[in-house]
Amino acid sequence: MHFPFSKYHGLGNDFILIDDRQESFSTEDSSLISRLCRRRTGIGADGLILLQNSLQADYWMRIFNADGKEVAMCGNGLRCLMTFLRALGLAHSTNSILAGGKLYKCSFEGEEVSVQMGRAEKVSWNVNLSLEGKEMTAHFIHIGVPHAVVFVDDVNQIAVEELGREIRWHPLFQPQGVNVNFVSELAPSALQMRVYERGVEAETLACGTGAAAAALAACRMLGCVSPIKMIMSSKEELNIRLSRDEEIEMVGGATFVFKGHFSQKEVQCITV
Distance between CA atoms of residues 228 and 212, nearest Å:
9
Active site residues: 74, 207
- For 122-246, which CATH class? alpha beta
Distance between CA atoms of residues 76 and 166, nearest Å:
24
- Per-residue pLDDT reduced to its tens digit, 103-155: 999 999 999 999 999 999 999 999 999 999 899 999 999 999 999 999 999 99
CB contact at 8 A, 170 and 129 = yes
CATH number of 2-118+254-271: 3.10.310.10
The pTM of the full predicted model, rounded to 2 decimals, is 0.92
- Per-residue pLDDT reduced to its tens digit, 164-211: 999 999 999 999 999 999 999 999 999 999 999 999 999 999 999 999
Distance between CA atoms of residues 50 and 25, nearest Å:
8
**Model confidence at 268, in pLDDT bands (50, 70, 90)?**
very low
Mean pLDDT of 34-51: 95
Q: Where are the domains of the chain?
A: 2-118+254-271, 122-246
Per-residue pLDDT at 266 exceeds 70: no
Would you state the pLDDT for residue 183? 98
